[in-house]
Every structure is written in structure tokens, then in C-alpha cells.
Structure 1
Amino acid sequence: MFGFHYRLERKAIGLTIGIIAAASVGGFVEIAPLFTIHQTVEDAPGMRVYTPLELAGRNIYIREGCYACHSQMIRTLRDDVDRYGPYSLAVESKYDHPMLWGSKRTGPDLARIGEKYSDQWHVAHLNNPRDVVPVSVMPAYGWLLTTELRTDDLDLHLKAQRRVGVPYTDDMIANAAMDAYAQSNPDSPQADGVIKRYGKATTMRAFDGLPSKLTEMDALVAYLQVLGRLTDAAHKSIAQAEAGQ
């Protein structure tokens, strides 16, 4: 076996063919399941899309590299389920471009962090993690509270998401900037428009505690508070499984 390999290494064409063959096997194993994706991914007809504010928060989450220390995929292991809740389903990441499943957990998994803690907790934690978790090694993000959220290009972000399959409507895209402001200021005249476009389940409040100012903290907390709450498919799957036992 080793003699054959040594002889193959001395022949460039043979070695190249061998590399292509080995890579093809790996590629086939990864690509073949995609042809049956519609049969294996759960259906979630009631799943809603991210609001412009939540999508902006997701962009900040990616920009600050939060995905490097936090995964967003609860595994089927008993320990994971006991600690974080129902294991993640593929459909829950249906509108995530890019997906943020991850595998590195310097911090806890965030797939179901939504509404687990108050907005005030998240603001304090992001401002200085040691204030709420003394042993935390997470860096502080205090500038989020003072940095005004850029909204003039939110319509372009929604358009880009629609190009890859997220069902944003023309109305959602046209009102993106206004909806981001209104979601964090529920007393504004535009708040009803957010509910109309994104549904009654949309969380409407000043996430950073300052309704008069739209900050990057508003956006990031809004995103964290919706994680695991775009659909209840995972909880339904568990209920159905328990009913069948």
C-alpha cells in the first residue's frame, strides 16, 4: 500500500487524479443531501422574517465577531437540550444568510436566548459583562449605547436578503428605515406600520431604554431577543414526539 503511494507521488498526473478523486468523494457526500433538502427540512408556514432593526442587529453581531465565541445551534445531545432547550431545527435558520450555527463555545449557545433575560440585563451585559457575570471573559461593547444606528442603507440590506430568498416585500423595503425607528419607539405614529408588515408577534419597545434615540445597542438587543422566537417549530416537534410516545 505504501509502496503504491510512494510511486504515485512521483507521478504528477497520477497524483493529481488521485487528489481529484478523493476530493470528489467528499464533495459528493456534502452535496448529495441538498437534492433532498425539501424533504428533510421541516415546514414552518408561520415563520416571520427579521425586522429591519433585528437585521441591523444581526449585522452588528457579525461585525463584532460574536459568532467566534457563541454558537447558535443546540445539538441533539441530552446535556445541550437540558441546558439550552429544544435542539435546533434546520428551518429555524431558513432566513439566516449567512448562517451562524458555529461550533466554538467560549460563551454559551444563543439559539434560544430570546426573552430569557430582560433588555436591561442585555444592555448591562454588553456595556460591561463583568457587571452581571463577574467571571466573564467577554469584551465590553460600551460604544453601542452611544453610537447612532445607521438606517439610510437598511433598504439595501433587505433587498440583498430578498435576492437570496428571504420574502421581503416592496413595502417592507420601502419603509425599512422608518420601521427600524418605530420598533424601538412604540409610541410613534409609525409603530402600527411595523405590526402590519411584520405581525403582531413583533416586539415593540425601547431596547436600550432610550426611546428618543436609535442606537446600535437597540439593534443588537432586538436581535438577541428574537433568537429562537421566529418560529415555534422546535417546540411543536417536541410536543408531537411526546404525544406519539
Structure 2
Amino acid sequence: MAEEKKGFSHDTIERNTLLLVVLILITVSIGGLVQIVPLFTIESTIEKVDGVRPHSPLELAGFNIYVREGCYNCHSQQIRPFRDEVERYGHYSLAAESMYDRPFQWSSKRTGPDLARVGGKYSNDWQVAHLVDPRAVVPESIMPGYAWMKDRPLKYDDIQTHLKTLKVLGSPYTDEQIANAKADLEAQKNPDGDVAAFQKRYPKAVVANFTGNKQVTEMDALVAYLQMLGTLVDFTKYQSPKQLQQ
């Protein structure tokens, strides 16, 4: 019988725990470098899309409440490029739409509908009624109510600092937007005021007294955020989902 060849085999690796760990680390490091290094050779990994802007101060406050309440656990903001998805929810999601969200809300689960295109789909009054008592407008809903938000004052004394911090992280807030952060937040709640400068700084932002309260409430902020979702981009300029499936 021929003598068994001795050498570096799988058996040797699998019996030597330290060697196995070292080789795994080397393999993972090489794979990671192959994926990461090319990213430094391009200007951006996200295609720039016309219309996308950072959140207005009131929308930003609403986004923070949305995250705080864990809305992403039941509602994703990610429409996949599949026929059933786009026929129900609208144009598939573009990465650029979420480029200023920290954290992004694409998620991986839907207990309720996807909200990527919910902006403008319902009236402000409907959104408020739904948040106060979901089953009043959607009888089969299992969503909890958030009636307390309607009268809970929004805390926004630090909104200017918040915008400054996001600018450091890459959101393109201008010095003018930062300086007017508090005034812009209040302007979006007051449709009877002079909102021309605000709307110039934040195109397509919905200006309304969402709850009817004189003070700015948490529900005002949340509805302002929801009514913006999916409204910033002109999707006629982009390839339709049906073309992707041909």
C-alpha cells in the first residue's frame, strides 16, 4: 500500500483551532477589502436625484418621533422593483430618497403598509384621525393609537443644534437654514403667515396647521414628516418598474 502523503490538508486545519481561526480572519479580511476598497475610488455610492433635500425642521422632528415610537418595526419605506410591489405602493424606492435619513427606514418587515409613497395619499385630517384612533378609519387595523401626541407640545429648542450636527455628518444644510431653523419649524405650522422664504428653503414641504392646535405638537411634526414621504422626486424621469421586468 502506498504510503499516505503528508501535507497541509483540511484535516490539519480542522484539527487545529488556532490555525482555523487565523485562516478565517485572513479570508474574511480579503473579502472585506475586495468589497470596501472600490468604494474609495468613486465620488459617491448613491446616485444624485433631483428634488431630494434634507428634512425641514418640522419634518426632522417628525422623523425623530417616528423612530422613537418604533414605526419602522411595522412599516418599511422600501418598495422593491417587483410588479406586485409597484402596483400596490408606487415607483420602486431609490437609494437617494433615504440618503439624509439617520437611521434609514428601509427595514425588512411590513405588518402595516409600506409608507415610502404615503405623502399626499391621504389628507392631513385623515392622517391625524388615523394616528388618534386607527380603527376609526381602517377598521381592520391593529396599529396602536397615538392620541396623546395631538396635545403634547413638541420640544424643539435644540433644533438649530440638531441641524448643525447633521451638517457635520453630511446633510447639506446651509448657514441660512440653520440660522432660521426654529422660525422655519414654526412657519410650517402656520399657513396664514409669510411662508415664502420657508418654502424656498424647503421645496414641496407641506404647510398646514395639521392638528388645529395653536402650539406646535408632536403630532404636527409626525404628520408633516408623513406627508413629505415620496413627494420630492419626479419619478417620470426614471425607468418604470414595468420596464425592469421586460
Give the shorter-chain TM-score range: 0.7 to 0.9
Residues 82 and 241 in structure 2, CA contact (< 8 A), matched pair in contact too: no
Partner Cα separation in structure 1 for residue 166 and residue 106 of structure 2: 18
Partner Cα separation in structure 2 for residue 187 and residue 122 of structure 1: 21
Equivalent position of 1:207 in the other structure: 210
Equivalent position of 2:6 in the other structure: none
| TM-superposed deviation, 1:102 | 0.7
Identity of aligned residues (%): 54
Equivalent position of 1:159 in the other structure: 164
| TM-superposed deviation, 1:49 | 2.2
Partner Cα separation in structure 1 for residue 183 and residue 69 of structure 2: 25
Q: What secondary structure sits across from 2:190 in the alignment?
A: coil
| TM-superposed deviation, 1:235 | 3.2
2:19 matches 1:14: yes
Equivalent position of 2:86 in the other structure: 81
Equivalent position of 2:120 in the other structure: 115
Residues 48 and 231 in structure 1, CA contact (< 8 A), matched pair in contact too: no
Unaligned runs of 5+ in 2: 1-8
Partner Cα separation in structure 1 for residue 78 and residue 14 of structure 2: 41
Residues 145 and 208 in structure 1, CA contact (< 8 A), matched pair in contact too: yes
2:237 matches 1:236: yes
Label 1:33 to 1:229 Cα distance change in 2 as closer, same or farther (>3 A).
farther
Deviations 1:111-161 (A, max 9, x none): 111100111111111111111111211111111101101110111111111
Residues 53 and 183 in structure 1, CA contact (< 8 A), matched pair in contact too: yes
2:149 matches 1:148: no
Partner Cα separation in structure 1 for residue 38 and residue 139 of structure 2: 44
Residues 57 and 221 in structure 1, CA contact (< 8 A), matched pair in contact too: yes
| TM-superposed deviation, 1:6 | 6.7
Residues 199 and 205 in structure 2, CA contact (< 8 A), matched pair in contact too: yes
Residues 187 and 198 in structure 2, CA contact (< 8 A), matched pair in contact too: yes
Partner Cα separation in structure 1 for residue 144 and residue 31 of structure 2: 38
Alignment match of 2:223 (pick from 215, 221, 224): 221
Which stretch shows the higher mean deviation, 173-182 or 26-35?
26-35
Q: What secondary structure sits across from 2:227 in the alignment?
A: helix
Label 1:17 to 1:182 Cα distance change in 2 as closer, same or farther (>3 A).
same
| TM-superposed deviation, 1:74 | 0.5
| TM-superposed deviation, 1:17 | 1.3
Equivalent position of 1:196 in the other structure: 200
Partner Cα separation in structure 1 for residue 241 and residue 110 of structure 2: 30
2:47 matches 1:42: yes
| TM-superposed deviation, 1:38 | 4.5
Residues 120 and 209 in structure 1, CA contact (< 8 A), matched pair in contact too: no
| TM-superposed deviation, 1:83 | 0.6
Label 1:7 to 1:130 Cα distance change in 2 as closer, same or farther (>3 A).
farther
2:98 matches 1:98: no
| TM-superposed deviation, 1:55 | 0.5
Which stretch shows the higher mean deviation, 168-177 or 14-23?
14-23
Residues 91 and 240 in structure 2, CA contact (< 8 A), matched pair in contact too: no
Give me the TM-score of the superposition, normalised by structure 1: 0.86
Partner Cα separation in structure 2 for residue 33 and residue 92 of structure 1: 23
CA RMSD across the alignment: 2.5
Which stretch shows the higher mean deviation, 135-144 or 36-45?
36-45
| TM-superposed deviation, 1:46 | 3.5
Give me the TM-score of the superposition, normalised by structure 2: 0.86
Q: What secondary structure sits across from 1:226 in the alignment?
A: coil
